[in-house]
Amino acid sequence: MIPVFRSIRCASAVVGAVAVTAGLLSAALPAVADAAPQALAWGSCDPIHGASADTQCATLRVPRDYSKPNGPTISVTVSKLPATGAKRGVLVGNPGGPGGDGIGMFTASAPSAQMRQEWDLVAVQPRGLIGSTPVNCDKVDASTASGGAGALNRERCEKNTPGYTKTLTTETNARDIEQVRRALGVEKVSLYGISYGTWLMSTYATLFPSHTDRLVLDSAMDPKRAWGELLQDQTAGYKARAHAMMAWIADHDDVYHLGKTPLAVYQRWSVQVEREAGVPPSFGAPPARVGDVPAGLKAVAQQYIDGVNLTADARARIENLVATLSTGKVQATSPLLGMTRQVAPSRNYWPMVALRMTGKSTSEKPSADMVRLVTNSQDMQSLMLCNEDWSAKDPFLTPAAMLQSLVTGDVFETAGLTYKSGIGCAGSTPVTSLIPLRNKLAVRPLQIQSVGDPQTPYGASMATRKAMGAHLITVGGGDHGQLGRSNKPLDAAIAEYLRTGRTAVTKVPQAPITASLTQLP
C-alpha cells in the first residue's frame, strides 16, 4: 500500500522494492474530550511538503498515548485549503500509505472545482512523519537485531523515542483527527480517504459517528487482510498493470518508437534493465501476438505464440537467477525497473517510463529533502505495518521470500512474499486489535473502486463496502486513487454526494491521461 510520491522521478532512486497486536481496545481508552480544545494558529507550511502557496498550516498538541491522556504529548501538523466560495463544511483527507505525506495532499491530487469552492480541505499529517513528531530511527544494522526484521525496526526506532513507536496505529491516527476536529470548532467533518486512508477514515467514522458527515472511500482496502495478505494480493495486479503499460506504449509507437506490440516493447525494456543492473529482469514478458511471429513461422503462428507464452515466466526467472549467481549483481539496482513497478498503478506516470526508454529522461540525484522524506516514510510505514500485521502467515513461503528478496531482488514479488511468509515482521507482534468497521452514520458512505486497481484489488475491497454499507461507483481501468484525475462524470458524482448525501451514479469510465506524453512532469 505504498503511496505514489509527489516526485516519482526522484523518489524512484531511493525507494526500495517494498511498498501499501496486543493492546487496549478502543472502548477501554480514556476520553480526552473534557480538555478545552486548542486554537489553531494558521501560517505558512514547511516547503519540504510541496504544498501550494495558498495552503495554510498549523500545529496541535495531542496525547502521545491515548490510554494516558494526561501523559506526554506530541505535535501534529494540520494543513488547510480554505473554501474559495460559499463554504458547506470541512472535509478531512488522507492520501494513504501508511506513510503518505498528508500536508500537500490536496496539492498533489488537485480536487475538482466544486470541492475546492465549497469545502475547507484539511489534512492531518499522520504521527511519525515529518511535521508530526517524526520517528527517529537509527540506520539499519542487522548485526544488532535481537530477532527478525520486525524486532530490528522497533529497536532502532524505539530506543530514541521510548514509548512512541507502539502508538503508531490506525486507531491513534483516527483519534488525532478527532482532536483536530475539536480544535477546528466544528461539530461534524466529512472525510475523504484514499487507499490506506479508507481504513483510517472508516475507523474514525466507526469511533466517532456523531461527528462524521459524509464519508468518501477512494480505492478501499480490506483491513482484515493487513498486511501480508494484502501485499500478496498486489503481486499479480502489479504484473498485469506493467504489461498493460507496455501495451499502452506499443499503442503509442508513433510517439515513442519502442515497438508495435507489448512484447516488442518488453524486449527493449528488458535490454535496458540489464544494461542498468548488469542482469536481466526476472519479470516475465507479456503475451506474444501475431505481430511478434517471425516471417518464416507464419504458418505455425499459433503454435509459436503458445510456446513463447508458456515459457515466458520461467525463462525470465531462470535467466535472471543464473546471471545473478554468476555476476553477483542484482536487478533491483535498475532505476527503470524500480520506476516501472512504482508507477504502474497510475497511467499519468506511464509516459515517464517510455521517455526513460527513449533516453529523454535520466535518473536525477534526489535532493536531501526527498531522501529525508522517503527515509522517514519508509521507517514509519515499517513500524505501522508490524504494529497492525494480523493477517495469516504462511511459513512455507519463507524460502521463496528469501530467494526473491535477498538473492534476485524481485521488485514485484518481494513485498508480498516477505510479509505473507512472516519474515517482514519477524520478532515483533501486533500492538493493537482490529476495530471492526461499523456504519452508524446518518448518511450512507460513498465508495469508489477501479476494476483493475493493483494496490487495492476490486474483489477484496468489497469487504469494506459491505462493512460500511457504502454506495459503490465502479471506475473503468486500473488507476489507483481517483482524486485529481479530471474524470468529469466521477467528479460530478462526488460533488453531488458531498452536497446531498447521495448519488445515483454507479459506473463511470476511467479518467483521461492528463500528463504530457512527451514532457516530464
pLDDT in tens, 408-438: 999 999 999 999 999 999 999 999 999 999 9
Residue type at position 505: V
Span 381-409, mean pLDDT? 96
Q: How large is the greatest C-alpha to C-alpha distance in the chain, in angstroms?
A: 81
Report phi then psi at 466, rounded to 5. Answer: -65, -45
pLDDT of residue 35: 64
Range of the domain at 180: 40-228+433-508
Report phi then psi at 227, rounded to 5. Answer: -115, -25
- pLDDT tens figures, 454-510: 999 999 999 999 999 999 999 999 999 999 999 999 999 999 999 999 999 999 999
Span 346-375, mean pLDDT? 92
CB count, 10 Å around CB of 32?
Answer: 15
Q: Tell me, what CATH number does 62's domain have?
A: 3.40.50.1820
Span 325-334, mean pLDDT? 97
DSSP state of 225: G
Pairing of strands 89-94, 73-81: unpaired
Span 201-216, mean pLDDT? 98
The candidate with the shortest Cα–Cα distance to 465, out of 277, 215, 278, 289, is 215
C-alpha cell at 350: 506511464
- pLDDT tens figures, 8-53: 444 444 444 334 422 333 334 555 555 667 889 999 999 999 999 9
pLDDT of residue 378: 96
Span 254-280, mean pLDDT? 98
52 contacts 448 by C-beta, under 8 angstroms: no
pLDDT of residue 32: 53
Mean pLDDT value across the chain: 92
CA distances to 24, 155, 159, 388, 406 from 172, in Å: 11, 21, 21, 12, 34
Span 440-455, mean pLDDT? 98
pLDDT of residue 428: 93
CA distance 34 to 103: 28
For the purposes of burial, counting CB atoms within 10 Å of the CB of 294, is it exposed (0-12), middle (13-18) or buried (19 or more)?
exposed
pLDDT of residue 386: 97
391 contacts 226 by C-beta, under 8 angstroms: yes
CA distance 418 to 415: 5
Is 296 among the domain residues?
A: no
Residues with Cβ within 8 Å of 404's Cβ and at least 6 positions away in sequence, in order, are: 410, 413, 414, 417
480 contacts 448 by C-beta, under 8 angstroms: no
Residues with Cβ within 8 Å of 299's Cβ and at least 6 positions away in sequence, in order, are: none
Is 50 among the domain residues?
A: yes
For the purposes of burial, counting CB atoms within 10 Å of the CB of 201, is it exposed (0-12), middle (13-18) or buried (19 or more)?
buried
Is 57 among the domain residues?
A: yes
DSSP state of 169: S
Report phi then psi at 243, rounded to 5. Answer: -65, -40
C-alpha cell at 209: 459517528
pLDDT of residue 7: 47
SS3 (DSSP) at 213: strand
Pairing of strands 212-218, 446-450: parallel
Paired residues of 76 in beta bridges: 60
Peptide bond just before 350 cis, omega within 30 deg: no
Span 60-70, mean pLDDT? 96
CA distance 4 to 69: 34
Strands (E), 396-495: 446-450, 471-475
477 contacts 347 by C-beta, under 8 angstroms: yes
Span 201-222, mean pLDDT? 98
- pLDDT tens figures, 86-120: 999 999 999 999 999 999 999 999 999 999 999 99
pLDDT of residue 149: 86
CA distances to 31, 171, 175, 217, 428 from 146, in Å: 36, 28, 32, 39, 10
Paired residues of 81 in beta bridges: 121
pLDDT of residue 376: 97
CA distance 223 to 444: 20
133 contacts 154 by C-beta, under 8 angstroms: no
C-alpha cell at 98: 501508511
The candidate with the shortest Cα–Cα distance to 186, out of 257, 91, 298, is 91
CA gyration radius, the chain: 23
Residue type at position 393: K
Give the Cα-Cα-Cα angle 460, 124, 431 (nearest 5 degrees). 60
The candidate with the shortest Cα–Cα distance to 490, out of 454, 450, 444, is 450
Task: Name the CA dihedral angle for 138, 142, 143, 148, rounded to a multiple of 10 degrees.
Answer: 110
pLDDT of residue 406: 93
Is 122 among the domain residues?
A: yes
177 contacts 92 by C-beta, under 8 angstroms: yes
- Check the CA dihedral 238-149-386-384 and report its sign: negative
CA distance 325 to 308: 25
CB count, 10 Å around CB of 206?
Answer: 21
Tell me the CB-side half-sphere exposure of residue 447, using CA atoms within 13 A. 27
Is 44 among the domain residues?
A: yes
Is 4 among the domain residues?
A: no
C-alpha cell at 129: 512523519
pLDDT of residue 307: 87
Number of domains making up the chain:
1
Is 83 among the domain residues?
A: yes
Give the Cα-Cα-Cα angle 296, 299, 301 (nearest 5 degrees). 90
Span 131-156, mean pLDDT? 82
Is 79 among the domain residues?
A: yes
C-alpha cell at 402: 528469501
The candidate with the shortest Cα–Cα distance to 90, out of 81, 103, 77, is 81
**Residue entry with cell 526500495:** 16
